[in-house]
Structure 1
Amino acid sequence: MNPSIARNPLAEAKKSWRLRLREARLAAFSDKVANAALTANLDALIAHLAPRSIGFYWPLPGEFDAREWIAGWLAADASRRAALPVIRERHTPLQFYFWTPGAPMREGHHAIPEPAAQDAADHALPDLLLVPCVGFDRAGYRLGYGGGYYDRTLAAWPAAQPPLTVGVAWEACRIDDGVLEPEAHDLPLDAVVTEAGAHLAGRLRPR
């Protein structure tokens, strides 16, 4: 174990939650009913928010696979755009590049596929980001993998056009309020969508 983690009770607690939620995520992912319900809830939330461009993610084991939904969303309106993240260097902000179904891909850092086309014309600043969650709470705080990529990405995003952030998670991975103690750099997601519905938080929280 990294000595700095051993000395940080919050980091150690998050590590414990990641391990605890691994089986719950895999079980939910294999549930066809849960997948269909999450797809329907995602469709309803995005129809309400009406972004013109969406940044999403290439799924890792246990994560909801948004690729088919994104392909259908793109096909419904030719003016819509989708983008996937690229890691230029480890522990740096993500860069998003446009993606279409069947687009050439290449293996990036952490063995995650990324768009092969990465010229300036392919660079994207999506209106909305779909963000994978290992866990989440009702306030919209997210438990990720610990790499800090989305924190760095949002901190570096142009202030004039910050994206809406929608976490994608399984209801079994909801964490009790107060457990995910926010750190100074943490920002709540604007919503979290699961198979149970859309949980509005952050800038979308009802006033």
Structure 2
Amino acid sequence: MSANSPPPSVNPSPVPDAIDPIRLEKIALRKRLLPLRQAALTSDPATEHAIAAGVRAWLDAGGFRCVGFYWPLAGEPDLRATLSHWLADDPTRRAALPTEVQLASPLRFAGWRPDTPMRIGRYGIGIPENDADAPAVDITPDALLIPCVGFDARGFRLGYGGGFYDRTLADAAQRPATLGIALEATRIAALPTDTFDIPLDAIQTEQQRYRR
């Protein structure tokens, strides 16, 4: 369950890369941006603190009751302490993590607290042990914190290629508020996008918050 685990490699597209120029461009961008993101996060301890402060300000301003976030992989800002403090400030608040990932499916969420037992799931991602307990699963967050490999100022994000968050947002009966978590070094003037790419409401970096 280490934050140093490498990011997952996902290739769910049924379209051959040779005839999908947008997908090829995204693959090339991931190869370029992943090392930049890792270097930017680890070069200065203040970077992660600045992102966490921006996230906390967004959470406080939003009045959210349940926040879905992510178990950090290598190069992703670790927001577990931020969520722990946010939960401690109001016992009625809830936080949730994605449960076992199913390809070509929206994400499902299970409840998380700092003392929640964890296990390692697919791609080496930490998953709450209580995801087998029916009352604890299928939580519907009203806000999502979403990691970004890259992003642009329009609110589009580059992920790992699985499309899980896009499916989750497209499938939601009521779309949650969304905040992308990114490093300034991974900002692109204009990301290549497909018809299924859904822009986020805002993106938080160590320098500022970009609003769509």
TM-score, normalisation: structure 1: 0.90
After the TM superposition, which parts of structure 1 deviate over 2 Å for at least 4 consecutive aligned residues?
87-91
Q: Once the 2 structures are TM-superposed, how far is the Cα of residue 103 of structure 1 from its aligned partner?
A: 0.6
Code of the residue aligned with 1:190 in structure 2: it is D
Secondary structure of the structure 2 residue equivalent to 1:140:
coil
Q: Does 1:185 align with 2:200?
A: no
Residue aligning to 2:7:
none
Corresponding residue number in structure 1 for 2:6: none
Equivalent AA in structure 2 for residue 131 of structure 1: I
2:123 corresponds in structure 1 to 110
CA distance in structure 2 between the aligned counterparts of 1:113 and 1:5, rounded to whole angstroms: 30
Q: Does 2:72 match 1:72?
A: no
Tell me the distance in 1 between the aligned counterparts of 2:155 and 2:66: 22
1:126-146, Cα deviation, whole Å (9 max, x unpaired) = 010000000000000010000
Q: Name the counterpart of 1:120.
A: 134
- 1:25–1:173 CA contact under 8 A, matched in 2: yes
1:25 to 30, 33, 37: 37
Give, in angstroms, the shift of residue 196 of structure 1: 0.7
Is the Cα contact below 8 Å between 2:26 and 2:192 reproduced in 1? no
Deviation per CA, 1:59-111: give whole Å up to 9, x if none.
11000011111111111111110000013523321100100002111221212
* Aligned-partner Cα distance in 2 for 1:17–1:182: 12
Q: Tell me whether 1:55 sits opposite 2:40 in the alignment.
A: no
Q: Give 1:139's aligned amino acid.
A: R
Distance 1:131 1:88, change over 3 A: closer
Equivalent of 1:132 in 142, 147, 153 = 147
Q: Is the Cα–Cα contact under 8 Å of residues 93 and 156 in structure 1 kept in the other structure?
A: yes
Using the aligned pairs only, state the percent identity.
45
> Contact 1:165–1:191 (CA<8 Å) still a contact in 2?
yes
- Which sections of structure 2, spanning at least 5 residues, go unmatched? 1-10
RMSD (CA atoms) = 1.6
